[in-house]
Amino acid sequence: MSAERGAKKVRNRFLTVLAIISFAVFLQQAPNLLDGYKIRIMNMIAINAILGLSLNLIYGMAGMFSLGHAGFMAVGAYVSALLILTPAQKTAMWILDPIAPWLLGVHAPFLISILAAGLAAAFFGWLISMPVLRLGGDYLGIATLGFSEILRILITNLTPITNGPLGLKGIPAHTNLRVSYGILLVTLFCTVRLMKSNFGNVIKAVRDDETAARTMGINTFQTRVLAFTIGCFGAGVGGALMGNIITTIDPRMFTINQTYNTLMIVVIGGLGSITGSVVGSVLVTVMLEWLRFVENPIMIGSTQLFLSGKPGMRMVIFSLLLIGVIIFRREGVMGMKEFSWDRLFSFFSRQRGDAA
Amino acid sequence: MRKVILGVLICMFACGAAFAADDVIRIGFFNSLTGQNAFGGQLELEGVQLAMKEIPEIIGKKVELVIVDNKSDKVESANAVTRLIENDKVSAIIGSYGSSLTMAGSEVAEVGRVPLLTTSSTNPLVTQDKKFTFRACFIDPQQGAGAATYAIRTLGYKKAALLVDVANDYSVGLAAFFRNSFVKLGGEIVSDMRYNSGDQDFTAQLTEIISKEPDVVLLPAYFAEGAIILKQARELGAKFRFMGGDAMDNPEMVTLAGEAIEGFIYTGFAYAPDMPDMNPVAAKFTELWKKEYPGKETNANAALGYDCYMMYVDAITRAGSADPEKIRDALEATKDLPTVTGVTTLDADHNPQKDIGILEIKDGKKTFVGTVVPEM
């Protein structure tokens, strides 16, 4: 029995490595196979998946209803952008107030700026988690939403540092498939390891029954602070990557709508499921772009299809699909389940069994 | 049930991937057709469509307009332009209402090497150091200076106050440029008050401004907040005059603000449907608009949409080709082109030098007062 399990483990690990390598080869070839539009969408999928995973850690796995993701993304995006921009670019851009002198010479390469973005967001996350995580449920949601707005308003008004409402532009487009999927892979690996470790069990215990967890001797407050801070690190990294793909950022990008987008990905994919966040990200990102065709006039013969060609139709249909998901599959596409090779194999063998 | 839904989706996809003939020129149009900027975006679209109806063919090829919505959102803006370039293979792009949205799109256009001509993005950063980005409107430094010049030279005002939406790049920029010119021309800024987009109560700021007794208050707001501010100022018994920018140019404004808007002056593009001494292009545009959209009031945004299309008609005709790089080169050389909002000549920074129009609300109606040449 244990030998069989060992063999399965080896097989699974082999398959995982194989899948990663073949996907890497695909990414390497992607610029030849796909046009820039599809590559951009693929990049957005990876970034949304990173954001989804980090929010899922906070909301799905640790059970803390946070609406502050956009604020932490903003911190990440700004830190990364300010580190990457050259002094010449900075002087040209600050047309309202001159830039703070100490900021002018600060410069770092792209990957370091991403790391710094994550750390800065994690710091702010840690800072707010101290007072706020004593709250629970909806109150936590309100408090984090408020903090996120505070961050945004600070960014809007700290003109010498952030260029205020004018935002930053001309950020080099460093985000490419290799970077975004590389970071997604690291995020996935870390999340999976984290959830399989003892800390993962502790987080789930705190989520499911805090009193019971505390009775078992778990420091529930510390656990929640740690989970929240790690989640914010992910938000900072995601925000930085997003800034580096759009190449221009301003405070209005990071309103509550941005948080809702990420929340949607997590809920559609399945709260608490790592696979779910990735699947949710693919679904939401691809659907929103793909549904664009309904906003062009659709001709059947010589008559225009009813309601086609109206701007905004895309969002109507998308919302209907969302309502469908919520009605028919409330727990999200994946529920709390995870992808595993074993389940895939048993699924196929069952199918074959049915056929026979 | 599931099969039916799947079938419907597949059908929709099949319809979506419709093909087009080769001998067409495709012009992409990305704008805010939904979301907070939808009003301006929609008018600009109607302006473009009006121009397209007038000239449906350039250099013997039929023009096809590909319209994508950006939901007044930056990420969507970048996606929309990428789609236009990569998926729809457009030769040229007409850009968005809202400077930050245009900036997100123009970064993509620069990489894709397709010219992008923005209708009404007045932020100077939009075309700064850009090779493929152009604009049909004036820039905020000119507009701010124009307002200051008019306030001091024509109206003889000396003391001004500012009431600025700090969450809005347009508002902050315009106020800063107004302040520079106003001080330079010998005026004094007596008060500098702030608010945030979406605020509803402005009585605290207005009371403070009233106590400073300015001659004029610059209100570089969008019309939604602008109308509320005008109403509340009237209720508080304010005696000073309000001035605004082109974002207040909106037919809804008078309905929203009612009597409080009487005497309001704003700078805008040198076009209004009732302006005297209209240039021939503007007269033609107004006539076409009345025929096409009877009962709907036009404004400068629609005029700029029309101008953008006509600038491409001119550039593509001179280039003699639908190649994006050739269109870019021709567009850069645009010179003395008569357009609705004045004669268009693009300078080295791809900005036209256009007169600043001064408009005033008289007897509840938008009235074109004249133009002003800004003293910078």
Structural contact between residues B238 and B206, judged by C-beta atoms closer than 8 angstroms? yes
Contact between chains at B82 and A92 (C-beta distance less than 8 A): no
Residue in the block written with tokens 């036209």: B352
Question: Does any CB of chain B come closer than 8 Å to the CB of residue A307?
Answer: no
Q: Is the pLDDT of residue B338 over 80?
A: yes
Q: Please spell the DSSP secondary structure of A35-64, one letter per residue.
A: -HHHHHHHHHHHHHHHHHHHHHIIIIIT--
CB pairs under 8 A between A and B: 123
Set of chain A residues whose Cβ sits within 8 Å of the Cβ of B221: none
Task: Give the side-chain half-sphere CA count within 13 A for B277.
Answer: 7
Position A179 in a domain: yes
Q: Give Cβ neighbours of residue B31 (< 8 Å, ≥ 6 apart).
A: B41, B44, B45, B67, B69, B70, B94, B95, B96, B97, B119
Which residues of B are less than 8 Å from A95 in CB distance? 124-125, 173, 176
If you write DSSP's letter for every residue of A267-300 in order, what string do you get? HHH-TT-HHHHHHHHHHHHHHHHHGGGGGSPPEE
| Residue A180 covered by a domain | yes
Q: What's the burial of B351, exposed, middle or buried (CB within 10 Å: 0-12/13-18/19+)?
A: buried
DSSP letter for each residue of A70-132: HHHHHHHHHHHHHHHS-HHHHHHH--SSPPPHHHHT----HHHHHHHHHHHHHHHHHHHHHHH
Q: How far apart are CA A316 and CA B286, in angstroms?
A: 35
Cβ-Cβ contacts under 8 Å, B107 against chain A: 169-170, 173, 246-248
Half-sphere exposure of B285 (CA within 13 A, CB side): 34
List A residues 18-57 in contact with B (Cβ-Cβ < 8 A): 35-38, 40-41, 44
Rounded Cα gap, residues B300 and A101, in angstroms: 41
Q: What is the largest CA-CA distance in chain A?
A: 76
Residue stretches of chain A with pLDDT short of 70: 1, 301, 306-308, 351-356
pTM over 0.90: no
- Contact (CB<8Å) B173/A38: no
User: Which of A251, A168, A182, A164 lies closest to B107 in space, CA to CA?
Assistant: A168
Given this model, what pLDDT does residue B16 score? 45
Picking from A45, A80, A67, the residue whose alpha carbon sits closest to that of residue A254 is A67
Contact between chains at A289 and B79 (C-beta distance less than 8 A): yes
Q: Residue A229: inside a domain, yes or no?
A: yes
**What's the pLDDT at B20?**
45
In-domain check, residue A355: no
Q: Are strands A299-300 and A303-304 parallel, antiparallel or unpaired?
A: antiparallel
For residue B252, what are the contacts with CB-CB under 8 A and spacing of at least 6?
B39, B223
Based on the structure, what is the number of domains in chain A? 1
pLDDT at A352: 64
Q: Which of A39, A252, A285, A302 to mutate to test the interface with B (most CBs of B within 10 A)?
A: A252
pLDDT for the residue A1: 55
Residue A111: inside a domain, yes or no?
Answer: yes
Kindly list the residues from chain B whose CB atom is less than 8 angstroms away from the CB atom of residue A300: 15
- Burial class of B293 by CB neighbour count within 10 A (0 to 12, 13 to 18, 19+): middle
Rounded to two decimals, the ipTM of the complex is 0.77
B349: helix, strand or coil = coil
* Three-state DSSP class for residue A225: helix
Statement: residue B21 has pLDDT above 60: no
How far apart are the CA of A156 and the nearest CA of chain B, in angstroms?
A: 6
Q: Determine, yes or no, domain membership for A306.
A: no
In this model, does residue B54 exceed pLDDT 90? Answer: yes
> How far is the C-alpha of A160 from the C-alpha of A84, rounded, in Å?
17
A143 and A135 in contact (C-beta within 8 Å)?
yes
Tokens of A157: 């008004």
Residue A6 lies in a domain: no
Does the fold of domain B141-273+357-372 match that of domain B2-137+281-355? yes
Interface contact B172-A93, CB threshold 8 A: no
Chain B residues with beta carbon closer than 8 angstroms to that of A164: 166, 169, 172
pLDDT of the residue at A356: 45
Query: What top-level class would CATH report for the domain B2-137+281-355?
Result: alpha beta
| Contact (Cβ atoms closer than 8 angstroms) between residue B321 and residue B327 | yes
| pLDDT value for B3 | 57
Hey, are the CB atoms on B16 and A294 less than 8 Å from each other?
Answer: yes
B141-273+357-372: CATH number: 3.40.50.2300
Q: Do strands B265-269 and B61-69 pair parallel, antiparallel, or not at all (unpaired)?
A: unpaired
Q: Which residues of A touch B196 (CB under 8 A)?
A: 153
pLDDT in tens, B216-270: 999 998 888 899 999 999 999 998 999 999 888 877 788 888 888 999 999 988 8
Q: Are A165 and B12 a contacting pair at CB < 8 A?
A: no
pLDDT in tens, A151-177: 999 998 898 999 888 888 888 888 889
Counting DSSP H helices and E strands in chain B, the numbers are: 12, 15
Alpha carbons A72 and A275: distance in angstroms, whole number? 23
HSE (side-chain half, CA atoms, 13 Å) at B167: 18
Torsion A184-A186-A191-A192 (CA) sign:
positive
CA geometry: angle at A91 spanning A85 and A95, to 5°?
120
Residue B18 confidence (pLDDT): 43
Q: Which of residues 238-267 of A touch B (CB under 8 A)?
A: 242, 245-253, 257
What distance in Å separates residue A115's CA from the closest CA in chain B? Answer: 23
Specify the pLDDT at position B19.
Answer: 44
Domain residues for the domain of A208 are 19-255
Contact A311 B67 (CB under 8 A): yes
Decide if pLDDT at B15 tops 50: no
User: Which of B13, B66, B166 is nearest residue A165 as measured by Cβ atoms?
Assistant: B166
Q: Is there a contact between B107 and A247 if contact means CB atoms under 8 Å apart?
A: yes
Mean pLDDT of B125-149: 92
Cβ contact, residue pair A169, B167, below 8 Å: no
CB contact under 8 A, A293 and B12: yes
For B111, name the nearest residue in chain A, comparing CA atoms only: A173
Question: Nearest by CB to B172, which of A165, A298, A299?
Answer: A165
- Nearest CA among B66, B69, B70, B129 for reference residue B104: B70
Segment B58-63 shows an average pLDDT of: 93
- Best of A43, A91, A95 to disrupt the B interface (most B CBs within 10 Å) is A95
Long-range CB contacts (< 8 A, 24+ apart) of B178-183?
Answer: B178/B144, B178/B145, B178/B147, B178/B148, B178/B218, B178/B220, B179/B144, B180/B144, B180/B145, B180/B148, B181/B144, B181/B145, B181/B147, B181/B148, B181/B149, B181/B374, B181/B375, B181/B376, B182/B148, B182/B151, B182/B152
A169 with B107: Cβ contact below 8 A: yes
Question: For the residues of A182-199, what is the DSSP string, one character each?
Answer: HHHHHHHHHHHHHHHSHH
State the average pLDDT for chain B. 89
Let me know if residue A131 belongs to a domain: yes
Residue of A205, A185, A209, A181 lying closest to A195 (CA atoms) = A205
Residue B273: pLDDT band (50, 70, 90) is confident
